[in-house]
Structure 1
Amino acid sequence: MRIDKLLAHSGFGTRKEVKELIRKGYVTVNGEIIKKDKAHVDPMRDEIRVDDEKIIYEEYVYYMLNKPSGYVSATEDNVYPTVVELIDDYYRDDLFPVGRLDVDTEGLLILTNDGVLAHQLLSPKRHCPKVYYAKIKGIVTEDDVQKFLKGIVINDDYQCQSAHLTILSINHGESEIEVEIYEGKFHQVKKMFLALGKEVTYLKRIRMKELYLDTSLQLGEYRRLTDEELDRLKDESVLQ
């Protein structure tokens, strides 16, 4: 990797600012001053310092975000702000959300630059479980629970995989539920309830595989995943 690109990715400024640091002799590689911004380094093997501060390069990063309503799960959009814009301590341009939450849906969203992990979590063949909390306009019944188990038909002809629906409470014509699904069809949870004549008025993802939303995170807040959480995400034994 070019030294100027590495330093810019590590938060030492724009390419122009980084080139100036290099030109003035503030950057060393394995103890030797580097003054060529096009010089190539191996961030995993070389010891790189800026004004004697050692650079710790991360090939992959993993964030947990409590997504707020009003943000789209994309890297760019012409209408809405994106979830990537909420991550303000990351300096590279390769971060992306793993999967999609609707613009008005809140909750657990993983952002990373690890394409392999994203594929593992999103591939339909992997049957990655996702759990949502929702408020439903209408009375959710045990009959609905059984219909979810059998597979709800949406879009007139697509039968969803078996899903686990749990009724949490029913009050004044509104139901609170949790539902576990293994797919990620567009508006899937909303369409599943719509097929039963009921409307989702609030939706929040609370779990993906064995990764639970950190309840201490306020809407719009994020943090790095711990090593233990990352191990749980990568554990193939928890898949259906």
Structure 2
Amino acid sequence: MLERLQKIIAAAGLGSRRASETWIQDGLVTVNGRVVDTLGAKADPERDAIKVKGKLINPQLANRRLVYYLLNKPKGYLSSLSDPQARPLVTALLPKDAPRVHPVGRLDFNTEGLLILTNDGALTNIVTKAGDHCPKVYHVKVKGSPGPAQLERLQRGMTIDGEFHQIARLAPLDLTDYDNAWYELILHEGKNNQIRKMFDAIGHSVVKLRRVAIGHLTDAGLPVGAIRELTEAEVRRFFSKRKIAPRVTARKFGKPRPTGEAKARQRERLAATVGKAAAPAKRPARRGASPSSESPARPVRAARTGSQRPPVAKAAKPAGARSAGASSAAPLRASTRSASGAHPSQARRGGGRPGRAAPRSPRRKP
């Protein structure tokens, strides 16, 4: 099956597609003994003999086992497979039985943090491709404290050496003090020394830099210098079509919080200014109040109990009385017993309701 040559080389685990394209353009790749220096050329790894730098890569393709490592790179290691200056390489931190792998992206020599190493060119292309599908989260400590205008310039973007650089998100960390500021930032692209160049452009050089997340992968539970294999679920997540939300820990922009020595200095300054502060002005007295502060206190009114309240006598209205001015009002119901001592309800039984005639006795037939 015909495939692009750079894809075949990356699948062999020799490097990323970008590195494979560079080898092709430099004339370091041959197919069946002929040099291929054109991007987009295709070959069949099952039929064609493909060599990179004079080495046949077909056996590596046949016996290839895909592996994925996550390394928390310490400072003092180079994210490369070789170095003319003989500096330490990240491959020295791999297990002894690990197959040949390449680093996905790069971290500077003095930068620590997460780095993926694999022989899967497809995953390498996904992680290194520019875009917001796989954001990278960094924690950076800079010299001094940049002002709001400088921070806005970082997020707006700037051109350095003819190349445009931009930070997708920037927020201060709680580690921030008044001497050196810590920030959390997110990048959607990986350019060489991008963070250091941008902070140098605003006059605040980088003191420390570490990468704490690559997409959904974080450094939680992975100390500096440690390495582990990715799970199948973690690998599948990279190949899913949905966007990966970055794991961030920074708060929103605001005044930096003092910590450590800066907090102690703030307390000393506050204590020194307390004694010099002027006494607060007294509240003006009310109108008609005595100016003397020794005026007699206002007598306290004794609490009144229910037994102290004098009873109020209510005049009873006679039955059948009408209110004044209301001739058409209904008669009031008696509130006391009648003169005979019977209750009004019992008095109605003999005479019936007011206004209703008594029943007639039936006539007898002659």
2:135 corresponds to 1:124: no
Return the structure number with greater strand share: 1
Structure 1 contact 73–100 (Cα < 8 Å) conserved: yes
Match for residue 199 of structure 1 among 205, 215, 231:
205
2:106 corresponds to 1:80: no
Match for residue 221 of structure 1 among 210, 219, 226:
226
Q: Deviations over 1:196-236 (max 9, x none)?
A: 111111000011122212x3222211001122222232233
Residue aligned with 1:171, SS: coil
CA distance in 1, matches of 2:124, 2:132: 11
Match in the other structure for 2:236 = 231
Q: Tell me: CA distance 1:74–1:150, structure 2 relative to 1, closer, same or farther (3 Å).
A: same
Structure 2 contact 216–244 (Cα < 8 Å) conserved: no
Structure 1 contact 164–181 (Cα < 8 Å) conserved: yes
2:127 corresponds to 1:101: no
Q: Tell me: CA distance 1:95–1:211, structure 2 relative to 1, closer, same or farther (3 Å).
A: same
Q: Tell me: CA distance 1:126–1:59, structure 2 relative to 1, closer, same or farther (3 Å).
A: farther
Residue aligned with 1:107, SS: strand
Q: Tell me: CA distance 1:200–1:162, structure 2 relative to 1, closer, same or farther (3 Å).
A: closer
CA distance in 2, matches of 1:154, 1:236: 33
Q: Deviations over 1:118-177 (max 9, x none)?
A: 01111236763111011110103333332222113322x322235211111431420011
Paired positions, count:
184
Match in the other structure for 1:53 = none
Structure 1 contact 72–101 (Cα < 8 Å) conserved: yes
Q: Give the alignment's TM-score, normalised by structure 2.
A: 0.46
Structure 2 contact 131–189 (Cα < 8 Å) conserved: no
Amino acid at match of 1:217: L
Who wins on radius of gyration, i.e. which is larger? 2
Residue aligned with 1:191, SS: helix
Residue aligned with 2:141, SS: strand
Q: Give the alignment's TM-score, normalised by structure 1.
A: 0.69
Amino acid at match of 2:147: T
If asked which structure has higher relative contact order (CA below 8 Å, sep 6+), I would say: 1
Amino acid at match of 2:91: V
2:220 corresponds to 1:183: no
Match in the other structure for 2:341 = none
CA distance in 2, matches of 1:161, 1:236: 25
Residue aligned with 2:173, SS: strand
Alignment RMSD? 2.5
Structure 1 contact 107–204 (Cα < 8 Å) conserved: yes
Gaps of 5+ in 2: 1-61, 246-366
Gaps of 5+ in 1: 1-43, 45-56
Q: Tell me: CA distance 1:137–1:87, structure 2 relative to 1, closer, same or farther (3 Å).
A: same
CA distance in 2, matches of 1:115, 1:234: 12
Q: Tell me: CA distance 1:177–1:234, structure 2 relative to 1, closer, same or farther (3 Å).
A: same
Amino acid at match of 2:226: E
2:139 corresponds to 1:148: no
Structure 1 contact 145–166 (Cα < 8 Å) conserved: no
Amino acid at match of 1:226: T
Give the drift of 1:114: 0.3
Residue aligned with 2:186, SS: strand
Q: Tell me: CA distance 1:216–1:105, structure 2 relative to 1, closer, same or farther (3 Å).
A: same
Match in the other structure for 1:111 = 117
CA distance in 1, matches of 2:70, 2:173: 26
Q: Tell me: CA distance 1:173–1:61, structure 2 relative to 1, closer, same or farther (3 Å).
A: same
Structure 1 contact 209–239 (Cα < 8 Å) conserved: yes
